[in-house]
Structure 1
Amino acid sequence: MSGTAWAADGAPAVRSNQARVAQVMHDLSGNGAKLRAFLQAMPKGGDLHNHLGGSVYAEDFLRWADAENACIAVAGHQLSPPPCGEGQVPARGLAARDAAFYSATVDALSMRNFVPGNAAASGHDQFFSTFAKFGGLGGHRAEGVVVTLEQAARDHVPYVELIANPPQAAALGKRAQTLAWNAKDFAADLAPLQGELPELVSAAREDFATLDAQVRTLMHCGQADASPGCGVRYRYVPYVLRVLPPPVVFGQMVMGYALVQADPERFAAVNIVAPEDNPVALSDYRLHMDMFRFLSTRYPTVPLTLHAGELALGLVPPADLRFHIRDAVDAGARRIGHGVDIGYEDDAAGLMAQMKARHVAVEINLSSNDGILGVKGRDHPLQMYLAAGVPVVLSTDDEGVSRSDMTHEYQRAVQEQGVDYATLKQIARNGLTYAFIPGDSLWNDDGSAPGAACAASLRANAAKPDARCDALLARSEKARMQWQLERDFAAFETQILKGAY
Structure 2
Amino acid sequence: MYIKLTGGAMLALAFAGAPQALAKGPANTANEAATARHYASLVAGEPKTAELTLFFTQMPKGGDLHHHYSGSVYAEQYVDFLDKQGYCLNKQTYRIETKKEVIDAERAKPAEQRNCLSTAEVHADDFTYRELLQRWSNKDFNNHGAMQPPPDRLFFQTFGFFGPVSNANFREGLQELKKRAIEENVGYIETMFKMSPFVVNKDFDLLAWQNANDDKAFDAQMGAWLAVLEQDEAFGKSTEDFVTKIHESAEGIDDERFTMRYQTYVLRLLNPSQVFSSMVSGFKAAKMSDKIVGVNIVGQESTMVSMRDYSLHMKMFRFLKARYPDVKVAMHAGELALGDVPPEGLKFHIDQALVIAGADRIGHGIDLAHESNAPAIMAKMRKDDIPVEINLTSNSFINGIEGANHPVTLYRKYGVPYVISTDDAGVTRHTLSNEYVLFASRYKPGYAEMKKASYNSIRYAFLPVAEKQRLTRQLDARFAAFEARIAGLVKTQAGVK
TM-score by length of 1: 0.83
Matches within 5 A, 1:288-437: 288-330=313-355, 331-437=357-463
Matches within 5 A, 1:45-84: 45-65=62-82, 70-81=87-98, 84=103
Report the 3-state secondary structure (helix = DSSP H, G, I; strand = E; otherwise coil) of the residue aligned with 1:269: strand
Report the 3-state secondary structure (helix = DSSP H, G, I; strand = E; otherwise coil) of the residue aligned with 2:307: helix
**Are 1:274 and 2:264 counterparts?**
no
In angstroms, what is the RMSD of aligned CA positions? 2.6
Aligned AA (1:193): L
1:449 is aligned to none
**Conservation of the 8 A alpha-carbon contact between 1:176 and 1:250:** no
Q: Give the deviation of 1:230 after TM superposition.
A: 7.0
Which whole-Å CA distance do the structure 2 matches of 1:67 and 1:174 have between them? Answer: 29
Matches within 5 A, 1:446-465: none
Q: Give the deviation of 1:5 after TM superposition.
A: 7.4
Which whole-Å CA distance do the structure 1 matches of 2:487 and 2:267 have between them? Answer: 48
Aligned AA (2:48): N
Which whole-Å CA distance do the structure 2 matches of 1:482 and 1:8 have between them? Answer: 8
Question: Relative to structure 2, which stretch is displaced further, 355-364 or 141-150?
Answer: 141-150
Report the 3-state secondary structure (helix = DSSP H, G, I; strand = E; otherwise coil) of the residue aligned with 2:70: coil
Q: Give the deviation of 1:124 after TM superposition.
A: 0.3
Report the 3-state secondary structure (helix = DSSP H, G, I; strand = E; otherwise coil) of the residue aligned with 1:145: helix
2:174 is aligned to 145
Give the one of 146, 151, 160 matched to 2:189: 160
Which whole-Å CA distance do the structure 1 matches of 2:8 and 2:472 have between them? Answer: 19
Give the one of 224, 237, 253 matched to 1:188: 224
Which whole-Å CA distance do the structure 1 matches of 2:205 and 2:94 have between them? Answer: 40
2:15 is aligned to none
**Conservation of the 8 A alpha-carbon contact between 2:266 and 2:275:** yes
Question: Relative to structure 2, which stretch is displaced further, 194-203 or 289-298?
Answer: 194-203
What whole-Å deviation, never above 9, does each CA across 1:160-181 have from its counterpart, x for those lacking one? 1110226xx33xx224457686
Which whole-Å CA distance do the structure 2 matches of 1:234 and 1:13 have between them? Answer: 28
Which whole-Å CA distance do the structure 2 matches of 1:47 and 1:165 have between them? Answer: 17
Question: Relative to structure 2, which stretch is displaced further, 403-412 or 94-103?
Answer: 94-103
Q: Give the deviation of 1:490 after TM superposition.
A: 1.6
2:278 is aligned to 252
What whole-Å deviation, never above 9, does each CA across 1:31-61 have from its counterpart, x for those lacking one? 3222211111101111111111100111111
Report the 3-state secondary structure (helix = DSSP H, G, I; strand = E; otherwise coil) of the residue aligned with 2:422: coil
Q: Give the deviation of 1:204 after TM superposition.
A: 1.9
**Conservation of the 8 A alpha-carbon contact between 1:4 and 1:423:** no
Give the one of 459, 470, 492 matched to 1:480: 470
Which whole-Å CA distance do the structure 2 matches of 1:435 and 1:27 have between them? Answer: 31
**Are 1:121 and 2:111 counterparts?**
no
**Conservation of the 8 A alpha-carbon contact between 2:4 and 2:29:** no
**Are 1:204 and 2:235 counterparts?**
no
**Conservation of the 8 A alpha-carbon contact between 2:7 and 2:455:** no
Report the 3-state secondary structure (helix = DSSP H, G, I; strand = E; otherwise coil) of the residue aligned with 1:108: helix
Which whole-Å CA distance do the structure 1 matches of 2:294 and 2:454 have between them? Answer: 20
**Conservation of the 8 A alpha-carbon contact between 1:71 and 1:88:** no
Unaligned runs of at least 5 residues, structure 2: 10-23, 107-113, 209-217
Question: Relative to structure 2, which stretch is displaced further, 115-124 or 322-331?
Answer: 115-124
Unaligned runs of at least 5 residues, structure 1: 222-228, 440-475
Are the structure 2 counterparts of residues 51 and 230 from structure 1 closer, same or farther at C-alpha, using a change threshold of 3 Å? Answer: farther
Which whole-Å CA distance do the structure 2 matches of 1:322 and 1:387 have between them? Answer: 21
User: What is the percent sequence identity of the aligned residues?
Assistant: 35
Q: Give the deviation of 1:420 after TM superposition.
A: 2.5
Which whole-Å CA distance do the structure 1 matches of 2:473 and 2:75 have between them? Answer: 36
Are the structure 2 counterparts of residues 259 and 13 from structure 1 closer, same or farther at C-alpha, using a change threshold of 3 Å? Answer: closer
**Conservation of the 8 A alpha-carbon contact between 1:52 and 1:163:** yes
Question: Relative to structure 2, which stretch is displaced further, 233-242 or 56-65?
Answer: 56-65
**Conservation of the 8 A alpha-carbon contact between 1:124 and 1:371:** yes
TM-score by length of 2: 0.84
**Conservation of the 8 A alpha-carbon contact between 1:69 and 1:92:** no
Which whole-Å CA distance do the structure 2 matches of 1:164 and 1:484 have between them? Answer: 25
Q: Give the deviation of 1:123 after TM superposition.
A: 0.7
Report the 3-state secondary structure (helix = DSSP H, G, I; strand = E; otherwise coil) of the residue aligned with 1:149: helix
Give the one of 36, 40, 49 matched to 1:26: 40
Which whole-Å CA distance do the structure 1 matches of 2:338 and 2:204 have between them? Answer: 38
**Conservation of the 8 A alpha-carbon contact between 2:31 and 2:486:** no
Report the 3-state secondary structure (helix = DSSP H, G, I; strand = E; otherwise coil) of the residue aligned with 1:307: strand
Aligned AA (2:229): L
Aligned AA (1:486): D
Which whole-Å CA distance do the structure 2 matches of 1:7 and 1:302 have between them? Answer: 26
**Conservation of the 8 A alpha-carbon contact between 1:362 and 1:390:** yes
Aligned length: 446
